[in-house]
Structure 1
Amino acid sequence: MPDKLNFSFPVSLLSQEADLILNAGDKYTAQISPRLQPNFLAGTRTLAGQVALLGTEQKSKAGDLGTLTADQNRKFAALLEKVGAARDTAKRAFKGQDVKLREEFQVGINKPDDLGSVLQRARIILASVRKPANATTLGTKGWLDDDDEALELAIEALDDTDETQEAAKTTKASSTGDRNAKANELYEALLTVQNAANLQWPESNGANATIRAEFRLGKFPPRNSGNSEEKKKNKPTPPTPPA
């Protein structure tokens, strides 16, 4: 399961605020750097770039997943057409043989209708049309070896698409986990920079208001955001009602 974000606002806002805070850090680097670890600002700037890049890659993976779904639907419809043709031919070739039609050609079996089940039924039908005894009888109703191959190709096409989609889902989940982990790290780093700025330019001195604003103190994190567990711990206890 991907890492959860430790804040409740969009990652895009985190990236935007990071740029502002780090610009302030660069502007006042001589004053604030002594309060930070060596190369802290440069490292945080690199981290901000990684978060932005991972966000872009994640959107790309989501787009790939959507395209695969559309492609899968097209191939799904193509397979159903081939399966339907095989069933219809079997019903003509083996008219009245209800048990055979149901067991070998899956006639009347349409549930479950998930992709895996549809593929499984299609493979049963393919194996049945290729049985020598069945093939001869099906041939009298117009079924050809080419129809076997067309059914097999339709199965393989949909099966390949399913595997590709599952891989895309896995990659997307991995991308989300990487992005969230980096975003949490960036969030904590920005709070560290802000804490250093707060110590360097305390709010009690009104002359510091402009610099504090550049570090987004009082503006970031936005109100009603942050770690949900922290919110629970900091939530005031309601007064006990009188007896």
Structure 2
Amino acid sequence: MDDRFGPTLVGAFLDDRLVGVALVGPAQEYSAALAATCRGVWPSRLLDDALYLVGTEIAETPGIAVVPDHRAEGIGLRLKRYCDLWAAQHGAYLMFSRPTNKAACRLNEKAGHKVLEGDVSFVTQIVDAQDRPLTGVVRIDPACDGSFQAFRQLTVADGLMWRFRVGQYPAVSQVDGTGDDHAVRIDPGHIAWYEWDRSGLVRSVLAPAPRLEHDVSMGLRRVSMES
């Protein structure tokens, strides 16, 4: 591997045998989705700057695979953590991925990623250093290309003049006192934005959900900044 922040194939070996692989690199799928969605909606200079930011500071892991006779041995988790480390070392502060089954969801959770559950949508927004919104909210439906159901902040975003923040819509909260660990309350009036501290712990920050303006291409929607 070289020092470029580009698509990179990572291998796990046991006794000189390849037992697992992962692909990691810039978030090209999200970049394409963002371009298709916001061209003609955002000012061209803002969109160009946003796409540059995605290409240099946001990573994705499109897939991880382990040979069948070496599954459940922690190889996938080590690959996942290595991809996160590799991305952080190459300047990325966010990692996106798309788990396609329950095992992949558990893998992401063990690696400290937030995994969205149910029919909630992955949302992003560009904010400044004081977390003031610079754009509307981009919402991606779960079934559409460019939707990532797992993500993590790899480093604390100190000193960035502007950055993407990630979250989910609608916000979902646990219902206490029911005895059911899966009982949740859907809050369509709020977005949950996720942040990680220096120790790797995640917390959610609720914000009023802006009004949905209109549908755009690829199932993504532009959302007004007005409540």
Q: Give the TM interval when normalised to the shorter protein.
A: under 0.3
- TM-score (norm: length of structure 2): 0.27
Larger RCO: 1 or 2 (CA < 8 Å, sep 6+): 1
Computing the radius of gyration over CA atoms, which structure comes out larger, 1 or 2? 1
- TM-score (norm: length of structure 1): 0.26
